[in-house]
Amino acid sequence: MKRIVLGLLLIGIGTLFTFATPSEDVQREAQAFIDAYTKQYQQLYYAASKAEWRANTYIVEGDTATRAAAQRANEALAAFTGSVENIRAIQGLLKEADKLTPLQVKQLKTMLYIAANNPQTVPDLVKARIEAETVQNEKLFGFDFKIDGQSVTPNEIDDILKKETDLTRRYKAWVASKEVGKVLKEGLVNLQRLRNQTVQALGYPDYFTYQVSDYGMTTEEMMALNQQFIRDIWPLYRELHTYMRYELAKRYGVKEVPDYLPAHWLPNRWGQDWSAAVEVKGIDIDSILATKTAEWIVKQGEQFYISLGFPPLPQSFWELSSLYPVPKGAPYKKNTHASAWHLDLDKDVRSLMSVVPNAEWYETVHHELGHIYYFISYSTPEVPILLREGANRAFHEAMGSLMGLAAMQKPFLAHRHLIDPNVKTDEMRTLLKEALNYIVFIPWSAGVMTEFEKKLYADNLPADQFNKTWWELKKRYQGIVPPEPRDEQYCDAASKTHINNDAAQYYDYAISYVLLFQFHHTIATKILHQDPHATNYYGNKEVGKFIHALMAPGATRDWRELMREILGEEISAKPMIEYFAPLMEYLKQANAGRKYTLPEQI
């Protein structure tokens, strides 16, 4: 079937080059090619997505059939999108770009970008890479984490790191969380080579540069943008780092405050979010949520979006999603990393989560449903299948994070009866808790992760320097060190999901956090006319219209043009810095007389 369709595509292109000369004829023939390509692409994409969904939601040790099915489906999609015939046809049409409509050009460029990830000019490489990625996922999500010989879930490890004050127990949990890296290192070395070689076949110098190009930027421009983010927030991060060293030393009964934060002291496996280390009295929604069900949490998320004017989630979402933890004793495991899926690039939207009734999952649900409603918003006849994605990749994350932030602000929580509206709260401590999430995340995402993957792919980082480089970056950008030296038998970078299966894209998250504060500032000041620190989006249809205006075009518009049109500004960390400005003086007073160990400038 695949060969027949490809043959039909080529017949159409042959007709184009034989007879088409006026612009209208070129556009007509180009559209015929785009339509035929899109139909086949959607079918193959859906088949691959369903196979991947199964592989991520039903992981059984020794099950080779599921892995093989996912591999076959991905190979079929790769063979089509990267076919030599399609690449030549697309390149031929793009030579006539001046005669095509902007939307046609965008679709053709998208096809060529997709092709570079799976070029059939090097079919053996593509097949090897697909197989390697399938195996890597299986090892990652099927890993049996253990503490003192007893199996534990990632949620249980996270719970220890958030709540435990005994440093020995914390150490064991942190070490357990990193053991998976040892079994993933060999696969990562293989993927480093295969990812680079596949995109090099279509002219990209390396895999990192390939991924960055999706923004219309060079590697140098992307690195400069991320470095600027870090410089912008660094004075506040330096204060937060100093504060946490002293506060955690006090909590754990350590008299000599360390110069750098030991990784197992922090309430997150990677040190990317420190907010769980701070409690805000009066906003203890965990105790209220503990009386609810996981299903109630997800329904609350849906109700929020409906209140803004979005439609109810389709019934298929509830029937086909995997929203809750695998039951204890079940003969299978699943990917525990929350994600949203647009399986057919149309109506089949699903979420993969492991929701339990607590504050973290409450926020996560609102985040993930942001992705789902983004899918729904651009799945319209006006947006071609090939352009049904975010204005850029970070837009998707920004929308999810924006809604997660909105759902955790005091007026919103009071409106949803999760806290007493008259409860007295420490507003500065609330801001501190938020900064330990959003500000702390920037050096991790824009610094550690982005620099590591740039070195991994663009600089061909040698395998015997993986862990050394990882911890050098952790120390430089985060001021975090391992509990003890960790040599190259470990691969602590690989313990992070994205290093394995969402490679060379982590700057998406850094950009998304900057964008979310720009979006939030506009909503708070221009629509709600509320203090950005205390908003309630719930039920405001104008907020819904603003969000929909950003989401509905999908990738049909240049993301920078869209920002200028709707927000009236370029991307900037200024709103984020302004949001947290009141915290600086508070931290300087708290840190008076304390030793600073991070440099004043990075």
Say yes or no: 313 and 410 in one domain.
yes
In a shared domain, residues 187 and 270: no
Query: 231 and 266: one domain?
Result: yes
Mean pLDDT of 294-315: 98
Has residue 171 been placed in a domain? no
Contact 268, 161 (CB under 8 A): yes
- Residue 311 and residue 192 share a domain: no
pLDDT tens profile 386-429: 999 999 999 999 999 999 999 999 999 999 999 999 888 899 99
Can you point out the beta strands (E) in 259-336?
A: 261-262
Q: Give me the pLDDT at residue 5, please.
A: 40
Range in 53-67, 161-175, 380-394 the model is least confident about: 53-67
Is the sign of the CA dihedral 578, 519, 563, 452 positive or negative? positive
Q: Is 147 helix (H, G, I), strand (E, B) or coil?
A: strand
Secondary structure (DSSP) of 433-494: HHHHHHHHHHIIIIIIIHHHHIIIIIS---GGGHHHHHHHHIIIII-EE-SS---TT--GGG
My answer on whether 194 and 245 are in the same domain is: no
Q: Are residues 507 and 557 in the same domain?
A: yes
DSSP letter string, 314-382: PHHHHHH-B-SPPPTT-S-B---S-EEEETTSSS-EEEE----SSHHHHHHHHHHHHHHHHHHHH-STT
Q: Is the pLDDT of residue 280 over 90?
A: no
Lowest mean per-residue pLDDT among 42-46, 88-92, 147-151, 419-423: 419-423
Is the CA virtual torsion 262, 267, 272, 274 positive or negative?
Answer: negative
* Residue 255 pLDDT: 97
Q: What is the mean pLDDT of residues 314-332?
A: 95
Asked whether 121 and 201 are in contact (CB, 8 A), the reply is: yes
Asked if the structure places residue 164 within a domain, the reply is no
Same domain, 253 and 387: yes
- φ and ψ at residue 332, rounded to 5 degrees: -145, 165
Q: Is the pLDDT of residue 8 over 70?
A: no
Rounded to the nearest 5°, which phi and psi values hold at 339? Answer: -155, 160
Q: Which of 66-75, 103-112, 588-597 has the lowest mean pLDDT?
A: 66-75
Residue 601 lies in a domain: no
Q: What is the pLDDT of residues 327-354, one digit of tens each?
A: 989 999 998 889 999 999 999 999 999 9
Identify the domain containing residue 565 by its residue range.
222-590
Q: 284 and 420, same structural domain?
A: yes
Q: Report the pLDDT value the prediction gives residue 15, as an integer from 0 to 100.
A: 45
Q: Is the dihedral of CA 114, 115, 120, 123 positive or negative?
A: negative
Q: What's the CATH code of the domain at 485? A: 1.10.1370.30
Give the pLDDT confidence of 133-145 residue by residue, as tens digits.
989 999 998 899 9
Dump pLDDT digits (tens) for 217-268: 999 999 999 999 999 999 999 999 999 999 999 999 999 999 999 999 999 9
Tell me whether residue 212 is in a domain.
Answer: no
- Please check whether residues 188 and 249 belong to one and the same domain: no
Total domain count for the chain?
A: 2
- Regarding whether 405 and 352 lie in a shared domain, the answer is yes
Task: Tell whether 198 and 241 lie within a shared domain.
Answer: no
The residues near 348 (Cβ < 8 Å, ≥ 6 apart) are: 46, 316, 320, 342
Decide if pLDDT at 17 tops 60.
no
Q: Is residue 266 assigned to a domain?
A: yes
Q: Quote the pTM value.
A: 0.89
User: 381: exposed, middle or buried (C-beta count within 10 Å: 0-12, 13-18, 19+)?
Assistant: exposed
* Between 7 and 160, the higher pLDDT residue: 160
Looking up tokens 């086949």 gives: 40
- % of the chain with per-residue pLDDT over 70: 96
Mean pLDDT of the chain: 94
Tell me the pLDDT tens digit for each residue of 425-459: 899 999 999 999 999 999 999 999 999 999 999 99
Q: Does residue 600 fall inside a structural domain?
A: no
In the predicted model, is pLDDT for residue 9 greater than 80? no
For residue 90, being part of any structural domain is answered with: yes
Domain-embedded: residue 349: yes
Per-residue pLDDT, 11 = 40
Question: Dihedral of the CA atoms 431, 437, 441, 443 (nearest 10)?
Answer: 50
Give me the phi and psi of 310, to 5 degrees please: -85, 160
Domain shared by 314 and 197, yes or no: no
